[in-house]
Structure 1
Amino acid sequence: MQSGAEDAASAKRRAVADALLQAALSGGASVQGHTVVDKSVVTADLLIVRPVGRVLRHQVLSLTQAGGTWTAVIEAVVGAGVSGQCERRRNLKVTVYAPLIRVRPDAPAWSEPLAMEVAKMLVRRLEAHPAIRMVRVTDREMPRISKAREAFDYETLTRGSTRMGEGEHGFIPVVVMDVGGAGARPELRMDLEMVLIAADSTESRQAIRRSVPLPAVSPLGRLAVAIEPDRRQLAARLTEGIEAEMDALLDIETCRPVTANLAVAGGRIEAPVGRDHGLTRGSIAFTADADHSTEMLEVVEIGAKRVVLRPLDPGRGAKSFAGRPVRFVETGL
């Protein structure tokens, strides 16, 4: 319902949000009841309804107004996962951490420089992706200690913190070079893993294995293998298609909805994400926790790194949303 002329945009978003929820519910719903009875009197009765499917893509077909009521008709694709195709990608703010490189002792001498070049290739590809916003590239490992312990960490105190901010991601390339095979025709193996870690510790990984035969072992043994006429060709064969694999990982990750945990202060509901992450004034947040029914919130204020939300159900108090995870969907309005 529209409460006034100034509420028209909000009313339209609420109509689309309700249509999106109905579309998600059409893919199935999880219904869980909880009733508490004390001396034959029902003291608590809770029904939790959550969509099983997720709206992967949608298109608003029509928005019509009758009096103070807006009606939205949408066409939606509902599924259980991420399709890799989406009408609007989110932005990822990424910190690149030191690569993890392991080279076995019997690998050719040029294996370690090749592993470093592969790591640099991935960083260049990451930087070129249109949905990636680089925060920093550091030669330090991703911090594994708590914020409290960082206050007493010598490297942090002398060089500053490289901890990811809320809503950001870390990227770690992992490259392992090994020699396998038997007899006079050994092979060089490269195991590559591209790791994207969100600030909430969730991870997305893409693993690749490549192997190429090395030139025959010389009388001096494997350490004398391969200098050299074949070196560039071997490197090209090991790295063929790696940039496309990186693009595929990023396309899937940037197609995932923006997620965040809500905080409540002074009666305001806030989330540590904003325009830098691809959100707009037309974004709608859906609660995504397992032990509550799905509820919707709209954006009332948006900044680069933070949004202020309000429940679409005016009867829901702000306190009930504290700490709850939400998933954002772009309405296009």
Structure 2
Amino acid sequence: MSRTWLISAAAAAALLIGLGGAQAADKKLVVGFSQIGSESGWRAAETKTAKTEAEKRGIDLKISDAQQKQENQIKAVRSFVAQGVDAIFIAPVVATGWDSVLKEAKEAKIPVVLLDRQIETRDPGLYMTAVTSDTVLEGRVAGEWLAKQTGGTCNVVELQGTVGSSPAINRKKGFDEVVAKNPGMKIVRTQSGDFTRAKGKEVMESFIKAENGGKGICAVYAHNDDMAVGAIQAIKEAGLKPGKDILVVSIDGVPDIFKAMADGEANATVELTPNMAGPAFDALVAFKKDGKAPPKWIQTESALFTPDTAKAEYERRKDAY
């Protein structure tokens, strides 16, 4: 074996190692995203935005639609672990029942990020960070607006979100804080509309029948805009004027609620940005680069919108959702 051949072999090996390192450096991050489903306009917008934000950063995003079932989310997380993804994002359908599967992700050294919803766990170390709004604040802002508009005297019917979900729990909590401070405000009926338009309409119909054809209702507070839009349909079909005979306040900030406000059929919404993935991707990229964990909670902004800007907001948002 000649000396020249040995040198050539060594050079070739070094080149291969160099190429391998370059390929590793250029390797795309792969993120698995267990999405709840597409039960609302906001949820669809969150998914759309996540895809856009991933493309901006050159991230390979794998989305699994759970169809609003936790068992489907758990299966998806286990599948992502088996695939060896670089991170897992979860928008948890309910707050409890996550410890076991998240332990599996932790043992595989795969960081988990929660999007737009929190979980209840004895071990916060099972997830890296949560990117959410302050959902208690959202309920409080909605309640404070209604208290101001009605002088603190109002019989309210409440359309709750999915039972056991953190937004439903917290949006109720925040609103209830305001009710407790205003003796003239009462929640006379409350029931889950499961964050869907159809269920919101169905439940509102039952509220109207139970409250003297709707005459005993001052306002409807919906935990999301889609349920509010369903409620508006029920109010109109009952021969009443939504936004006037029955005030409508909700949360999310989707285009249809701005259209309803512009038409005089809704009164207020508290915005929940659908861009949860952008801050989550930024936190993940930084973590992969320097190993420094992000804050445990990355809070997104919430804002109150009323009819005075509704038309402009509808035009601004209609193509983004």
- Shared fold (TM-score greater than 0.5)? no
Structure of larger gyration radius:
1
Structure number with the higher helix fraction is 2
Class of the TM-score when normalised by the shorter of the 2 chains: under 0.3
